[in-house]
Amino acid sequence: MTFFRDDATGIVMCGDEEIPYTVVHSKRRTLGIHVYSDARVVVRAPFFTRRSTIKKRIDGKADWIQKKIHDLKALPPREPALQYTEGEQHLYLGSAYPLRIMKGKHSAVVLTPQAIEITVRGEVKAIRIKKILDSWYRVQAVNVFGERIARCVPRVPGVKAKHITRVSIRAMKTRWGSLSRKGSLNLNLALIRAELACIDYVVIHELCHFKRYAHDKKYYALLENILPDWKRYKKKLNGMRLLSS
């Protein structure tokens, strides 16, 4: 019986194209294949999963992997790295605002129709400005996400607010949201930068997992029935940065 070691690598053939992948083991129950925004393919498997099992699964997903990578390459370039300087454009609920930075006795953020005004106590540094802005984003996210969840729950048949055991807002590197089997809903802090329709898409996407946990045909049929233009919002989010740094 042969097993992959952690961080072992392999090759999946997609027609004439060779696509490398990495295998990582962890304390999980299922085997998952992930294609990240930089076109990395990672197979996450439970400890002691047979090498032949992993190979069979990834070979069976070869066409899907190739399509995901090609779709990623066709996306518009992502936003450039933020510098947190005067006049730099930052997003809030889908609209761009220039930063207006000033010194004061107390650190604060004020949103005006023309700008995001940031008052900095002490030395004005990019890392300090980022911390102040992220704190403000988090306060807004608590209110906005709560409201969007309340609006989205009735849209998913059979799902009630009581099914959500916990809501967490986190800075996540690879996901806009997730839902645990115990009903814990996690949303990426960076979603507060997206338009409300995109936030609703992520929330509905996760709520649908209460009815169908796997991303299979029945899951996508449910999602499409609730949100027929979900692919448009997914494409918009793919062009955004998951983290604010």
Residue 205 CB-half CA count within 13 A: 18
pLDDT for 72: 76
Angle (nearest 5°) at CA 138 between 135 and 139? 90
Report the mean per-residue pLDDT for the chain.
Answer: 89
Q: Which of 99, 112, 37 is nearest to 71 (CA)?
A: 37
Residues ≥6 apart with Cβ < 8 Å to 172? 178, 186, 188, 189, 242, 243
Q: Is the pLDDT of residue 219 over 90?
A: yes
Which tens digits make up the pLDDT trace of 111-139?
999 999 999 998 889 999 999 999 999 99
Q: Is the pLDDT of residue 78 over 80?
A: no
Residues of the chain above pLDDT 90, percent: 62
- Average pLDDT for 209-231: 94
Note the CATH number of domain 89-238.
Answer: 3.30.2010.10
Give pairs for 112-118: CB < 8 Å, separation 24+.
116/90, 116/92
pTM of the model: 0.71
- The count of other CB atoms within 10 Å of the CB of residue 46 is 13
- Average pLDDT for 19-24: 91
Residues ≥6 apart with Cβ < 8 Å to 132? 107, 108, 109, 118, 120
Q: How far is CA 187 from CA 74, 147, 150, 166, 210, in A?
A: 26, 13, 14, 11, 16
**To the nearest 5 percent, what fractions of the chain are helix, strand and coil?**
40, 25, 35
pLDDT for 7: 60
pLDDT bracket for residue 73 (50, 70, 90): confident
Q: For residues 47 and 28, is the Cβ–Cβ distance under 8 A?
A: no
pLDDT bracket for residue 76 (50, 70, 90): low
Domain boundaries, the chain: 8-74, 89-238
pLDDT for 79: 63
- Average pLDDT for 233-245: 76
pLDDT for 48: 84
pLDDT for 245: 45
Q: Is the pLDDT of residue 4 over 70?
A: no
